[in-house]
Amino acid sequence: MLKHSIKKLLVANRGEIAIRICRACNELGIRTVAIFSKEDINSYHRYKADESYLVGRDKKPIEAYLDIEGIIEIAKEHQVDAIHPGYGFLSENAEFARRCAEEGLTFVGPRAEHLETFGDKSAARAAAVAAGIPVIPGSGDAVSSIDEVREFGRTHGYPIIIKAVLGGGGRGMRIVRSEKSLDEAFARARSEAKQTFGQEDVYVEKYLDHPRHIEVQIIADQSGETVHLYERDCSVQRRHQKVVEVAPSRRLGEKLRHEICDAAVKLMESVHYLNAGTVEFLVVPSGQFYFIEVNPRVQVEHTITELVTGVDIVQSQILIAEGYGLHEDPVLIPEQKAIHTNGYAIQCRVTTEDPSNNFMPDTGKIVAYRSGGGFGVRLDAGSAYTGSVITPYYDSLLVKLSTYAQTFKGASAKMLRNLKEFRIRGIKTNIPFLVNVVQHPEFLEGNVSTTFIDTTPELFS
């Protein structure tokens, strides 16, 4: 048994991921501290921690969880050793990672400089180029004028995509199909970037037709030793946001699969990456793959990699933050040759988005909540239970439903059964839509590209 230098860990997050992290700590014998905004006074994550404290009393709902000094104050006052930021909120904030270090608190994640590099899409791209990883033809840096974009379109042909340098979460992207619509698209992309990310810088790339989104889970220790936990296919997206994820990918072929996983490791080694992270790629039908970005944190869909590899990624993160190296715990931080995938896992993001109302998030009291379950089923829920109130303040994720079986067919049959077993009354959810997705022949055959949802109208009926 490894000894833990982290005795108490603060989870700087809410909802399902806060609960996920508390559970990981609990099993390791580490005491947990939750923070909550005043709007989250009854939120479930509070009760899954050993202690919980109000943060950002005078702040708006989201800003409460971004209150760096408030969080650090709570940590210091309650003898916390480490902070896990989860995903979203402060998870990719380099200043937060630095402030933690200054205060002697272990930040469970990569180093601040990794957050800086990968938070800036052009810096990330430059790192990939330097490591010899293929990138999508594009401007690389922010463009200085629309003329540069026009020139790019003429050289590389349409469609092209204009992206916010500071973009994320599928937002801040605009596809341009011909030069005719460029003026308007460019102006809009810049103003949206300014509005959403506080900075109007955009860059341009060739828009790839029917790519698949393949991403590789990475874990690296403090010595720089890096392993991959194979890949996830996150091609089922709505407006560039992931809806259903599968591990491992299907119909990729062993050769390409290994090339992509090796490229991911090579990139992370080249920057001496630390802790868990994901390298994302787009793969076009010819088999050519291109780097798109690195997510330097635990991801929503880490669950399916855990199901097929047996590695608890959150516990691995904690051990690595404590300074343990790969191999020191053969189960939680195994060496590459001990990592295999077994069977298939699928995750559906059950949200309060109402498919009959253009996926607007619904709010209100859940008057009845009954989940599925059974062999090969994993549920990661935030505040979803009978009587809970879903507020408009935070993201619309209600519960992550993951299923696992030896075959893809088995995993998808379990998914369909579970989606149908769910009863959530009082608020609308996207379950009817997910039911359509997971029984669609193209999904079942593994022939899905990132445009599947947007080009398959029958999914919406």
Catalytic residues: 242
Q: What is the DSSP string of 149-181?
A: HHHHHHHH-S-EEEEEEEEETTEEEEEE-SGGG
Q: Which residue of the chain is nearest ligand ADP when measured via CB?
A: 450
Comparing C-alpha atoms, which of 427, 429, 432 is closest to residue 387?
427
- Residue 70 beta carbon to ligand ADP: minimum distance, rounded to whole angstroms: 27
Contact string 171-210 vs ligand ADP (x = CB under 6 A): x---------------------------------x-xx--
CA max distance for the chain: 65
Q: Which of residues 129-168 bind ligand ADP (CB under 6 A)?
A: 136, 161, 167-168
Residue that the structure tokens 């479930």 belong to: 44
- Residue 278 beta carbon to ligand ADP: minimum distance, rounded to whole angstroms: 10
Q: Which of residues 205-224 bind ligand ADP (CB under 6 A)?
A: 205, 207-208, 211, 213
Structure tokens at 239: 């407006």
Task: Please give the Cα distance from 359 to 340 (Å, whole number).
Answer: 37
Q: Which of 81/233 has CB closer to ligand ADP?
A: 233
Task: Please give the Cα distance from 293 to 263 (Å, whole number).
Answer: 13
Contact string 220-259 vs ligand ADP (x = CB under 6 A): -----------------x--x-------------------
Position 190: which residue type? R
Angle at 94 between CA 89 and CA 100, to 5 degrees: 85
Answer yes or no whether residue 169 interacts with ligand ADP by CB under 6 A: yes
- Residue 338 beta carbon to ligand ADP: minimum distance, rounded to whole angstroms: 30
Cβ contacts of residue 459 below 8 Å, gap of 6+?
Answer: 433, 436, 437, 440, 453
Q: Which of 150/171 has CB closer to ligand ADP?
A: 171
Q: Which of 293/353 has CB closer to ligand ADP?
A: 293
Contact string 290-319 vs ligand ADP (x = CB under 6 A): --xx--------------------------
- Residue 137 beta carbon to ligand ADP: minimum distance, rounded to whole angstroms: 9
Q: Which of 20/238 has CB closer to ligand ADP?
A: 238
Residue that the structure tokens 């003026």 belong to: 183
Q: Which of 170/330 has CB closer to ligand ADP?
A: 170
Per DSSP, what are the bridge partners of residue 162? 174, 204
Comparing C-alpha atoms, which of 17, 378, 433, 3 is closest to residue 236?
433
Q: Which of residues 328-387 bind ligand ADP (CB under 6 A)?
A: none
Whether residue 173 contacts residue 163, with contact meaning beta carbons closer than 8 Å, is answered with: yes
Question: Is the peptide bond preceding residue 137 cis, with omega within 30 degrees of 0?
Answer: no
Binding-residue total with ligand ADP (CB under 6 A): 19
**Positions that interact with ligand ADP (CB under 6 A):** 136, 161, 167-171, 205, 207-208, 211, 213, 237, 240, 280, 282, 292-293, 450
